[in-house]
Amino acid sequence: MPSFDIVSKVDPQALANAVNVVTKEITNRFDFKGAHIVIDLDKKENVIKLETDDDMKMRQLLDVLISRAHKQGIAPEAFDAAKEGSQIGKAWKKIVKVRNGLAQEDAKKLSS
């Protein structure tokens, strides 16, 4: 039986470029003028920390992030945004994990 290798890693430079493009786009967008927006890429933990004024802006920011990352060659499935954001004071915070590799359960499904 032939074997095969699956590689599903996100290029760290492409991810950094995507975050920089999103940051530049958000600063120029009219609907985000004067809004509190923080986009922080943690390369060691492989997460993107987002912070906005409200839930609507959070959803828009996440959509822009995924679409710009897709243009950089990163699949939208690489982002794990399933965990709901939380409101802390007046700010909404959300942590988006960037998946690198397959989960052990998914790898077992593929190999059998």
Lowest model confidence (mean pLDDT) among 2-6, 17-21, 61-65, 105-109? 2-6
Band (110; pLDDT cuts 50, 70, 90): low
User: Which pLDDT tens digit goes with each residue over 40-69?
Assistant: 999 998 899 999 998 899 999 999 999 999
Name the average pLDDT for the chain: 85
Question: Contact, 10 vs 98, CB < 8 A?
Answer: yes
The predicted structure's pLDDT at residue 31: 86
Find the mean pLDDT for residues 88-104. 83
User: Which pLDDT tens digit goes with each residue over 21-44?
Assistant: 999 999 998 988 888 999 999 999
Superfamily covering domain 12-111: YajQ-like, domain 2 (3.30.70.990)
